[in-house]
Amino acid sequence: MESLIKSFLVYVRPILEYGSVIFSPIGTVLIRRIESVQKSFVYRCCTKFGVHYASYFSTLETLVLESLEYRRLITDMMFLYKCIVAKDIACPSNLYLSFANCSSLRRHSYYLRSNISNFTKYT
């Protein structure tokens, strides 16, 4: 079972996570569709090797794996850190608003607010 999980982590998961900073699905249909690949793999491994499959997330914990949604969140946060704090990646400054004087707000100096609205116009 370990060799199957290792091969999934090496060959399949990078394909599912490729470009997740650029394309990070926000709709539940797309999230479920991407997550269903790993969910199907975990279920098939459990049934093949006789491991009890209670639920997807509890089985992920027993196999010491993370969900793809969680891994996309971590990747997005690392990208923001590299853009803003470490300055490793050039990020256009019109995508976010940085508050320089946050001492009165009791926040750190990297508090951000997006300039992009969540409302999408469909035409």
Q: Which residues span the domain enclosing 35? A: 2-88
User: 95 lies in a domain?
Assistant: no
Domain count, the chain: 1
Amino acid 94: pLDDT: 58
Instruction: Name the pTM for this structure.
Output: 0.73
What are the mean pLDDT values of the chain's consecutive 10-residue runs (123 residues total)?
Answer: 92 91 84 92 92 91 91 88 75 60 60 62 54
User: 54 lies in a domain?
Assistant: yes
Amino acid 20: pLDDT: 86
User: 113 lies in a domain?
Assistant: no
Residue 50, sorted as left (phi over 0), alpha (psi -120 to 50) or beta, turns out to be left
Q: Give the angle subtended at the CA of 108 by the CAs of 102 and 114, to the nearest 5°.
A: 75
User: 23 lies in a domain?
Assistant: yes
Per DSSP, which regions of 42-114 are E strands? Answer: 96-98, 112-114
Amino acid 24: pLDDT: 79
Q: Note whether 17 and 72 are within 8 A (CB).
A: yes
Amino acid 82: pLDDT: 83
